[in-house]
């Protein structure tokens, strides 16, 4: 299986999120998301370019969509 990595501009476009929103999800603050995929270092020094595994991003998106469907169905049942 071949891996495909995407860089930050493509990730922003794919998710419809700003750069700062993506990095907020990676942080430890109010908007942190422990399930959000971590970037992969592409440079040998570990200080340069990063990218995300597109399959991990797609899994995260599917998980978010399923949790939304679950919470919506619970709201409908609870009324």
The predicted pLDDT at position 73 comes to 56
Q: Is 33 left (phi over 0), alpha (psi -120 to 50) or beta?
A: beta
Q: What digits encode the pLDDT tens for the residues 18-50?
A: 999 999 999 999 999 999 999 999 999 878 899
Average pLDDT, the chain: 89
Distance (Å, rounded) from C-alpha 49 to C-alpha 35?
Answer: 22
The count of structural domains within the chain is 1
- For residue 59, what are the domain limits? 5-78
Angle at 24 between CA 20 and CA 29, to 5 degrees: 145
């Amino acid at each position: 299986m071949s891996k495909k990595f995407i860089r930050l501009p493509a990730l922003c476009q794919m998710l419809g999120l700003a750069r700062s929103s993506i990095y907020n999800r990676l942080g430890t603050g109010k908007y942190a998301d422990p399930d959000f995929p971590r970037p992969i270092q592409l440079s040998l020094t570990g200080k340069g370019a990063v990218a995300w595994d597109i399959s991990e991003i797609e899994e995260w998106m599917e998980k978010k969509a399923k949790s939304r469907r679950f919470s919506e169905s619970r709201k409908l049942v609870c009324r």
